[in-house]
Structure 1
Amino acid sequence: MSTPTRHLYLAAYDIREDRRRVAALKMLRGYATGGQKSVHEVWLTEAEKRRMLDEIVWLIDDSTDRFFLLRLDPRQRTLTLGVGEAPSDPDFFYVG
């Protein structure tokens, strides 16, 4: 059985209400390998991406909140500032 391919995404949100913002942060940290504040680096298979998008739909108010998921081009060079580390796909993930 082959391992599903993961792709690197940036997930970002702007959520007005504290309770929903905290819930979104907690949910995204379950998928994230890095990031800060409201922008996170996430390595996702197609199934994980669908599950994450299904979860975020229940957490945001589409009249006031915003959520953005951008797949990054793996051919592009990663630039880091300060002591940042280039994103890498780890050998395993714990989601839960």
Structure 2
Amino acid sequence: MAERDLYLAAYDVADPKRLRASLEFVKGYATGGQKSVYEIFLTPAEKASLLLGMAQLLNEAEDSFFLLRLDPRSRVYTLGVAIEPVDPPYFYFG
């Protein structure tokens, strides 16, 4: 099985219809997050699929999508009611 890296995915979408579609699409990959920022564990193939899917959903003139790979050596700090991201035992894509 391919190794997964932890990413932060964030988007800003102007149109409500595209916003809903983006939310549902990104949540399919996410392990946690809120509003329009999500923690996502991805293999290289899943990363390519996520980027392709978002490129098809978004209008480049009005919307933006940001995917940041987090350094696995860094410690994750959470404040408030946050839960530290954990790679689940399995992922379901249905």
Count of residues in Structure 1 that have an aligned counterpart in Structure 2: 94
Displacement of 1:70 in angstroms is: 0.2
* Residue in 2 that maps onto 1:67: 65
Output the CA distance in 1 between the equivalents of 2:51 and 2:72.
22
* Residue in 2 that maps onto 1:20: 18
TM-score (normalised: structure 1): 0.95
Output the CA distance in 1 between the equivalents of 2:82 and 2:40.
16
SS at match of 1:25: helix
Displacement of 1:23 in angstroms is: 0.2
TM-score (normalised: structure 2): 0.97
| Cα shift readout 1:17-65 (whole Å, capped 9, x = no counterpart) | 0000000000001000000000000000000000111100110000010
The answer to whether the aligner puts 1:50 opposite 2:20 as a matched pair is no
Question: Which structure 2 segments of 5+ residues have no match?
Answer: none
Percent sequence identity is 53
Output the CA distance in 1 between the equivalents of 2:50 and 2:8.
13
Output the CA distance in 2 between the equivalents of 1:83 and 1:15.
26
Amino acid at match of 2:69: R
After superposition, the CA RMSD in angstroms is 0.7
SS at match of 2:9: strand
